[in-house]
A and B are shown apart, each in its own frame.
Chain A
Amino acid sequence: MPLPYSELVMEHFRHPHNVGRMEDADAKAMEGSPACGDMVAVYLKVDPETQRISDVSFESYGCASNIATGSIITDLAKGKTLEEAKHISWQEASDALGGLPPIKAHCSVLAVDGLRAAIQSYEERHGLVKERVPTTVEEVRRRLKHVMNPVTGLDLVRTKLVQDIEVADGKVRIVVDLPADHQFAANMREEITDKIEPLWDVKEVVVEFTE
């Protein structure tokens, strides 16, 4: 039975590690949405003295890649300090699973985002105050590095698909160097909007294509 997934992905899919709601979590976060068909909730227990993640669990709504990356992220995060865990990359998560098909790369990004959001939530409650910095073109570009091109499995910035970014009066305009009737145009518009709209000072996101 040939599958696009590695044995490791299938193993995590069948028997996910650390899965389930943590009732007494020190911090939790949810990334993604039912609208995208992809959600991960991450729960953390942190040792206050060592700042190490003593326990971590996840819940998942999504495809096999989603479940597998949620599972692997808990394996990678357990026992690490918050600082160390913050730097786990989506590439690491994907490699730890023996690689993912390019079209599924966004799942490992989601798992990493979920973990980072949970860590951030912990830090916000335990001292580190988050400043509200006005959104800049650079911040938009940084976030666009978390939007994957399903064809290549690499992000839009790295694959030079972001032709223009404009930020003005709460409106963000992004031009993607692809035809408007491209197979994944609609999907990319959705993903970009999902990543940029939540910014505190963004009222409208406009995604345009070059053809």
Chain B
Amino acid sequence: MFEKIVYLDNAAATRLDERVLEAMRPYFFDLYAVATSQFGYSLGVDARDALDSARGRVAVALGAKPEEFVFTSGDTEASNMALKGVALALGEKKGRHIVTSPLEDFPVLYSARALEKQGFRVTYLKVDETGRVDLDQLRDALTPETILLSVQAANQEIGTLQDVKAIGEIAREKGVLFHTDATHAFTRVPLDVREVGVDLVTVSAHTIHGPKGVGGLYVREGTPIRKWMDGGFQEFDLRPGVENIPGAVGFAEAVELVTPDETARLQGMRDRLIERLLKVPHTRLNGHPLYRLPHNANISFRFVEGESLLLHLDMRGFAVSTGSACFSRSLEASHVILGIGGDHERAHGSVRFTFGRFNQDEDVEAVAGALEEVVTELRKISPLGKD
């Protein structure tokens, strides 16, 4: 049996909503056929209809047409598809220059690095101390050889929102394709492709109480992109593989279950937590105070290290995340905190809290109280901050 905990790491993964499971169930046991062409057997045709319907439901949340949405195995695959797919399509024709931000999540960052190894030139934009991209530098960075601009809609760690509308305008002005990783922003922050000049958008179900292993890429009609996986011709010949119909349906359901009221509730919890924690001495907020994800709080605590904070909180029944090097899989401190000019100590002492549907109001005071105790304890045994 699993113990009951206060789960505050919704940016990493979320608890599935029961209604999502119910929506998916028929596609495991009753309508389990592959999505055949319209000339196939009825079960397959019905499966195709279900897939198309799910596609439409997710697309509408982006302001997109159904045929502009490709289902993938998640945001990692979607971002890889965007960067490598465009590189494959335009690398020989237009140029070999890519522009992105240093704060991107790994799928974008490491895809860019992989392309660098293949001879592409990558420009990493300047960001200010809150993580917002410098728009003037962005404009100057785009050249006739630039094949893609990739800037996230929201940051996965510090929650800072980028001005995608302004960025989209600049990209259009310069004739450069614009990809945005909206994994953490989708449904929580407005993003309509009819209003924003964006060509590719990464989304995922796992951040909004949908199933893991399901995501997608919005591809504006006419965007030059080549498939990088080979196999069948599914997903408009962009992404082969047996379609994950239960997953697609689950994703659609999850998307529709997010409401502005819920987001406002999460934002209230976020604000109360930030206010409460900044009262603890020697703390600072990471990311922009206003332009930030409604459910994300990220605070650095001086003189103590994140992994011990995390373990102490775990023992008290709270799940959070940290930018400490010890916690990362590569033993490197958070590239996001370092990227906004923070030092290693600030990264090691950073804690990320991300709220979700199943958090209660009292979770805020509960975690704040526990954190205060833990920080006090750890500061007592720390060699730092005493003189």
Determine the residue in chain A with the shortest Cβ distance to B325: A37
**Chain A positions 113-170 with a Cβ under 8 Å from a chain B Cβ:** 150
Give me 16 A-to-B residue pairs in the complex whose CB atoms sit less than 8 angstroms apart, sorted by A's number.
A20-B381, A21-B383, A37-B305, A37-B324, A37-B325, A59-B382, A61-B304, A63-B308, A64-B307, A64-B311, A66-B305, A66-B308, A67-B381, A183-B330, A186-B330, A186-B332
B331 in contact with A35 (CB, 8 Å): no
Partner of B305, one of A59, A61, A186: A61
Interchain residue pairs A-B with the least CB separation, the first 5: A63-B307, A187-B331, A59-B383, A34-B345, A41-B383
Cβ B308 vs Cβ A187 within 8 A: no
Does A200 lie at the interface of the complex (its beta carbon under 8 Å from any beta carbon of B)? no
Q: Are A60 and B381 in contact (CB under 8 A)?
A: yes
Nearest-CB distance from A93 to chain B (Å)?
A: 18
**A34 CB contacts on chain B under 8 angstroms:** 343-345, 348, 384
Interface size bracket, A side: 20 to 34
Is A103 in contact with chain B by the CB < 8 A criterion?
yes
Task: Point out the residues of chain B lying under 8 angstroms from A61, CB to CB.
Answer: 303-305, 382-384
Whose C-beta in chain B lies nearest to the C-beta of A64?
A: B311
Question: Chain B: residues with CB nearer than 8 A to chain A?
Answer: 3, 113, 303-308, 311, 314-315, 324-326, 329-333, 343-345, 347-348, 380-384, 386
B383 touches A37 (CB 8 A): no
Return chain B residues, CB-CB under 8 Å to A62.
305, 307-308, 326
Residues of A within 8 A of B307 (CB): 37, 62-64
User: Which chain B residues border A1 with CB–CB below 8 Å?
Assistant: 3, 314
In the complex, what residue of chain B is closest to A21 when comparing beta carbons?
A: B386
Residues A13 and B383 in contact, CB atoms below 8 Å apart: no
Measured between alpha carbons, how far is A40 from B348 in the docked complex, in Å? 15
Docked-complex contact B383 and A187, CB < 8 angstroms: no
Interface membership of A76, Cβ < 8 A: no
Bound-state Cα–Cα, A43 to B344, Å: 25
**Cross-chain contact B326 with A37 (CB below 8 angstroms):** yes
Measured between C-beta atoms, what is the minimum distance from A23 to chain B in Å?
Answer: 11
Whether, in the assembled complex, A30 has its beta carbon less than 8 Å from a beta carbon of chain B, the answer is: yes
Decide: A64 and B344 in contact? CB cutoff 8 A. Answer: no
Is the pair B331, A13 in contact by a Cβ cutoff of 8 Å?
Answer: no
CA distance A67 to B325 in the complex (A): 16
CB proximity of A19 to chain B, nearest CB, Å: 5
Q: Is A36 an interface residue (CB 8 A)?
A: yes
**Which residues of chain B come closer than 8 Å to A40, judged between CB atoms?**
383
> Contact at B383–A39, with CB atoms within 8 Å?
yes
The residue of chain A having its C-beta at the shortest distance from the C-beta of B3 within the complex is A1
Q: Which residues of A contact B381 (CB under 8 A)?
A: 16, 19-20, 59-60, 67
Distance (whole angstroms) from the CB of A28 to the closest CB of chain B: 10
